[in-house]
Chains A and B, each alone.
Chain A
Amino acid sequence: RKEVEQDPGPFNVPEGATVAFNCTYSNSASQSFFWYRQDCRKEPKLLMSVYSSGNEDGRFTAQLNRASQYISLLIRDSKLSDSATYLCVVKPLGGRNYGGSQGNLIFGKGTKLSVKP
């Protein structure tokens, strides 16, 4: 099982639609979770962190399900400008006190969203 898995899409939705993406992760000890947005041929930018209790930022809602090891991103009232690739990012437990991973962020391949007029 890959460390971070996402459906690559593309998700083609009309303006105003609600769309949701899921991302699964394999390391149950993962401690931090993020959604980054990447526009075509641009750098990734932080969209939002994902907290255990779930969090909302305007039209965007992120949720974490530790039991099933997935995070989700819900976008309501989609805009044309939401068209981008959404990268799921997971921070495993790591560092000098732990074997293996140094705790560096692990990126998924991304889910491509295309919002049409």
Chain B
Amino acid sequence: DAMVIQNPRYQVTQFGKPVTLSCSQTLNHNVMYWYQQKSSQAPKLLFHYYDKDFNNEADTPDNFQSRRPNTSFCFLDIRSPGLGDAAMYLCATSRDAPGQASGANVLTFGAGSRLTVL
């Protein structure tokens, strides 16, 4: 009964070869997030969608793009992966919008997609 599902779990790509990671959720949550996490580092927020409203973090490279065609699905596109983009990519959802004062804003994560760049 996985609620946030990421595919693929492991992705190997070549330097510069585009990659798409997918995330689906059965929680009917309004917000979907993409995080990048490198070894021994905190998860780093790349961007999030509140419904169809896209919110990019200021320091997210242009190389990273996202699409959310419907409530259930969200995609992370890495247009030209570099060696420094090798990481675990975590999708997460929350019921409430990040800026709301009320609500738990608790994140539910998927199991992650581990990207290796050769």
Contacts and interface: CB of A to CB of B under 8 A. Distances in A.
Nearest to B88: A41
Interface string B93-111: 0000111110011111111
Nearest to A96: B99
Interface in A80-117: 87, 91, 93-98, 102-105, 107-110
Contacts of A17: none
Contacts, number: 65
Given A43-B110, A43-B112, A49-B104, A104 B98 contact: yes
B73 to A, nearest CB: 18
A102 B99 contact: yes
A36 B88 CA distance: 17
Contacts of A110: 40, 42
Q: Is the interface of A mostly helix, strand, loop or mixed?
A: loop
B47 to A, nearest CB: 10
Task: Give the size range of A's interface with the partner.
Answer: 20 to 34
Q: Is the interface of B mostly helix, strand, loop or mixed?
A: loop
A1 interface: no
B51 to A, nearest CB: 14
Given A95-B100, A102-B98, A102-B99, A42 B112 contact: yes
Interface residues of B, number: 25
Contacts of A45: 109
A32 B98 contact: no
Interface in B19-37: 33
Contacts of A8: 40
Contact of B105 (A36, A44, A91, A107): A91
A51 to B, nearest CB: 11
A46 interface: yes
A44 B109 CA distance: 7
Given A44-B109, A95-B97, A32 B104 contact: yes
A12 interface: no
Contacts of A42: 111-112
Interface of B: 33, 40-43, 45, 48, 55, 88, 90, 97-101, 104-112, 114
